[in-house]
Amino acid sequence: MNRQQELPLAPRDLLVLAVLAEGAHHGYAIIKEVEERSDSSVLLDPANLYRVLRRMRRDGWIRQVEGSGAGSRRTYAIAARGRTILRHEVERLDQLLREVRPALAGGSRASRR
């Protein structure tokens, strides 16, 4: 994976992958989970969500899984590549937070060395 091309993730992409990392979901459930996890700061309308899902499927981040029963909703699950991307993004964000947290405490990086 070329991290420079894949990362950083847009907040909506990060949240969609995080939702799917916990299990397969259909579109409406993804919309509601993203809204809840972001305290409504990331809102996805169906058209935007399905553009995101198409791109993620095309890039191998997620896959469509069979629903149960006739007329089932399209359900999506994270793919191995998506899980790797999610892990790398979380590691990147963790490192970034480690770098900026001292500023909140009033400390300087120079004083820690």
User: Minimal CA–CA distance to 22: which of 94, 67, 83, 98?
Assistant: 83
Question: Can you give the CATH number for the domain in which 70 is found?
Answer: 1.10.10.10
Q: Return left, alpha or beta for 2; rule: phi > 0 is left, psi -120 to 50 is alpha, else beta.
A: beta
- Residue 64 falls inside a structural domain: yes
Domain count, the chain: 1
Q: Which domain holds residue 19?
A: 9-105
| Residue 13: count of CB within 10 angstroms of its CB | 20
- Residue 111 falls inside a structural domain: no
pLDDT of residue 106: 84
* pLDDT beyond 70 at 113: no
> Which residues are within 8 A (CB) of 66 and not within 5 positions of it... i.e. 6 or more apart?
72, 75
> pTM surpassing 0.75?
yes
**Residue 2: which pLDDT band, with cuts at 50, 70 and 90?**
low
- Residue 3 falls inside a structural domain: no
Q: Residue 79 in 3-state DSSP?
A: coil
**Residue 5: which pLDDT band, with cuts at 50, 70 and 90?**
confident
CA distance 50 to 44: 9
- Residue 2 falls inside a structural domain: no
